[in-house]
Amino acid sequence: MSRLRFSIASTDDEFEQVHRLNHDTFCLEIPQHPARTDGRMVDRFHAENLYVVGKCGDEVVAMVALRDRRPFSLDAKPPSLDDWLPPDRYAGEVRLLAIRPRHRHRGAIAGLMRELWRTAHSRGLDLLLISGTTRQFKLYRQLGFEPFGPRVGSVDAEYQPMLLRREALNTSLRSVAHARPAGEGLDVAPFSPSLPRVVPAVLQAAAVHPRAHRGKTVMATLRRIRERLCAATGAEDVQVLAGTGTLANDAIAAQLARRPGRGLVLVNGEFGERLAAHVSGAAAAADVVRVDWGQAFDFPAIAASLAGQRPAWAWMVHCETSTGRLNDVDGFRALCERLVCLPVLDCVSSIGNLPVALDGIGLASGVSGKGLAALTGLALVFHRADALVAARLPGMPRCLDLAWYREQDGIAWSLSSNLLDALDRAIEQCCWMPASSSAPSLALPASGTLHRAVVSRLAAGGLRVLVADESAAPFLVTVELPVWLDAAAVGAAMQRVGSTIAWESRYLRERNWVQLAWMGRRSEHEVLAAADALVRCCRQQALVQDLPPLRQWTA
């Protein structure tokens, strides 16, 4: 965490940065005012404001304004403002509290408050008033502010009048300084397929001293993880490897390469293309059937096109994350039954986000992150016993030898006890135990209703979602930006207002796509607010560049 310096703004450069931070916070993140083409907003009381700023190097990353001249902006909000205030106090109004998302931590808040009170004291103030956004009501209470009067503003920008007494200063500063670990607080919210929301309980489970990977405790934890995952998915067995989803698919490809006969790979997006690359890297023989990205597979037509060929196996991505297409597993099963071949699935993005039935599936990949919302670093390979080739075959990389893992009761090589503890807790967090059964089922966060609401919000704002029908994955959207908007600029704008979306992957940059995903535990309010922010950021970029309205894109 970079050290911030706090002072009173005094230079033209500092004031210019204040105007831009004011715009990004109160036009884009909190839609209190419409976005402006120049990306700056000069406050109506600018000439009377005294700005406390926090700087990282030469950049203003935090600010708050103090004003002690009546009438305050609050005078126009709750009726008879003075009737709500304690007597014999000299009040000042605090406004425009704004912090860049990457600097929203305890040090920024405490530093701003100390400098603010130092300045207020020098002016003889002993009471501070604020219109606190209801989005951060808990934070303002932690700072010592007391609510008074009715809430004001609009549905999108609702505020609560609050006051802070001088005697609450030390208590509030101690509360801010010690309530959270350094770096935690108002973090940038992850809305990217690679960044699930990890709950504090999972982080706490991992924050212990490492244990021996062959010790009884770690072995018991691994056994519990495997049992729960198999019970929740219907898989016969699962092996846990040190690695990511990419390693899980490499382990599957190594198995397929040592089976007799040619295979079949189905591709309708980036991750289908990656399956083909895994097969090629393992020197497995396979045919590849490709359809346009985002399109559904026509399984009867695929079977007819093979004209009597009998592939030994077929491999498909369940959730094609690059486009948001949820491929039809039942149709895939029927295809494999017709071809009498081993069905293989990439379930990296679907396990934990969706009901996944792996009974009868030969091999399937998963990962500890994504929908399970643990920490990245553990690869999962679900399998039938008869789908594995013999252990210790010549040329088989030892770290990919799934039969050897099975023979060693899951601990073939070193595994991080911390990652296992996090995964164990994450599965516990997202599983429930029906009263009538001893087998857990995943309590899934994804909702088709929420997905439709997100698509509707984006469409109303003029944005086009690539896959929006009933076969869409209910936990992400891929947005096709119009050619005159730059995905990098939109992604940067979202970062500035507090949300990380996906745009940096090569395949997204090449197509000018961005993605909004909600994996892990998300509230409906959070997701819809992120969708609204994406619309506002796109509109802002169009205004800045004097480009056509977004509605002309979807017309």
pLDDT tens digits, 397-439: 999 999 999 999 888 889 999 999 999 999 987 654 333 344 4
If one counts every other C-beta atom within 10 angstroms of the C-beta of residue 510, the result is 10
Token pair recorded at residue 47: 């000439």
Give yes or no: residues 145 and 41 share one domain.
yes
Residues 202/208/214/217 CA torsion (nearest 10 deg): -70
This prediction's pTM: 0.70
Q: Encoding tokens for residue 299? A: 């399984």
Alpha helices in 236-384 (DSSP H): 245-257, 270-281, 299-305, 329-339
Say yes or no: 431 and 283 in one domain. yes
Strand partners, 52: 8, 64
**Does the residue 437 lie in any domain?**
yes
What span, in angstroms and rounded, lies between the C-alpha atoms of 477 and 446?
Answer: 12
| Residue 192 covered by a domain | no
Taking only the tens of pLDDT, the chain with its 555 residues reads: 357 889 999 899 999 999 999 999 888 887 778 888 888 999 999 999 999 999 988 999 999 999 888 888 888 777 778 888 888 778 889 989 899 988 877 678 878 888 888 888 777 788 889 887 777 777 788 778 888 888 877 766 678 888 888 776 555 555 554 444 333 333 457 899 988 888 888 988 999 999 998 889 999 999 999 999 999 999 999 999 999 999 999 999 999 999 999 999 999 999 999 999 999 999 999 999 999 999 999 999 999 999 888 999 999 999 999 999 999 999 999 999 999 999 999 999 999 998 899 999 999 999 999 999 999 999 999 999 999 999 999 999 999 999 999 999 888 889 999 999 999 999 987 654 333 344 455 555 557 889 999 999 999 989 999 999 999 999 999 999 988 889 998 998 888 777 889 999 999 999 999 999 998 777 788 888 889 989 988 887 776 555 555 554 444
Angstrom CA distances, 313 to 59, 355, 361, stand at 57, 23, 11
CATH label of the domain that carries residue 98: 3.40.630.30
Residues 394-424 as b/e (b if ≥16 CB within 10 A, e otherwise) read: eebeebbbbbbbbeeebbbeebbbbbbbbbb
- Boundary residue ending a domain (152, 187, 222): 187
Are residues 352 and 281 both part of a single domain? yes
Partners of 383 in beta bridges = 237, 363
| Beta-sheet pairing, 237-242 with 5-8 | unpaired
Supply the pLDDT for residue 252: 98
Alpha-carbon distance of 120 to 77, in angstroms, equals 23
Q: What is the DSSP string of 354-380?
A: B----TT-SEEEEESSGGG-S-S-EEE
Q: How many CB atoms lie within 10 A of CB 513?
A: 20
User: Rounded distance, CA 261 to CA 342, Å?
Assistant: 11
- Cα–Cα distance measured from residue 49 to residue 92, given in angstroms and rounded to the nearest whole number: 11
168-198 as b/e: b if 16+ CB within 10 A: bbeebbebbeeeeeeeebbebbbbbbbbbbb
pLDDT in tens, 101-128: 888 776 788 788 888 888 887 777 888 8
- 102, 437, 481, 520 from 221: Cα distances, Å: 35, 21, 45, 22
Residue closest to 4 by CA, chosen among 63, 50, 57, 66: 57
Q: Is 122 contained in some domain?
A: yes
Specify the CATH number for the domain of residue 345.
Answer: 3.40.640.10
- Among 442, 458, 490, residue at a domain's last position: 442
User: What does the alpha-carbon distance between residue 153 and residue 161 come to, in Å, rounded to a whole number?
Assistant: 10
- CB atoms inside a 10 Å sphere around CB 330: 9
In the chain, what is the straight-line distance between the N-terminal and C-terminal CA atoms, in Å? 46
What is the distance between the alpha carbons of residues 49 and 35, in angstroms, rounded to a whole number? 22
The residue among 317, 357, 359, 313 whose CA lies nearest residue 335 is: 313
- The owner of tokens 């409906």 is 524
Distance of alpha carbon 346 from alpha carbon 355, whole angstroms? 14
**In this structure, are 419 and 463 located in the same domain?**
no
Clarify whether residues 56 and 148 are in a common domain: yes
232 plus 129 within the same structural domain: no
Contact 328, 297 (CB under 8 A): yes
Q: How far apart are CA 252 and CA 278, in angstroms?
A: 9
193 belongs to a structural domain: no
Range of the structural domain that residue 461 is part of: 448-554
Residue 195 lies in a domain: no
Nearest to 159 by CA among 81, 101, 78: 78
Of 135, 157, 187, the domain-final residue: 187
Identify which of 416, 370, 385, 423 has the alpha carbon closest to the alpha carbon of residue 226. Answer: 423
Measure the CA–CA gap between 387 and 35, rounded to whole angstroms. 57
Q: Which two tokens stand for residue 163?
A: 């006051």
Q: CA torsion angle for 217, 221, 224, 230 (degrees, to 10)? A: -140
Residue 395 lies in a domain: yes
For residue 309, what is the enclosing H or E element? Answer: none
CA 244 to the chain's CA centroid: 18
Which DSSP string corresponds to 90-136? -EEEEEEEEE-GGG-SHHHHHHHHHHHHHHHHHTT--EEEEEEEGGG
For residue 183, what pLDDT is reported? 34
Residue with tokens 């691994």: 222
Return the CATH number at 480. Answer: 3.90.1150.10
Same domain, 39 and 134: yes
The reply to whether 13 and 120 lie within a common domain is yes
191-to-81, 320, 401, 411, 454 alpha-carbon distances in Å: 40, 17, 35, 34, 13
For residue 289, give both structure tokens.
């059937």
The reply to whether 116 and 208 lie within a common domain is no
Quick check: is 11 in a domain? yes
The verdict on 183 and 212 lying in the same domain is no
Question: Could you tell me if residue 164 is inside a domain?
Answer: yes
Please tell me the total count of domains within the chain: 3
Residue closest to 130 by CA, chosen among 180, 81, 177: 81
One domain, residues 161 and 273: no
> Per residue in 126-147, pLDDT tens?
888 988 777 777 778 877 888 8
Distance CA 241, CA 234 (A): 20
Residues 228, 157 share a domain: no
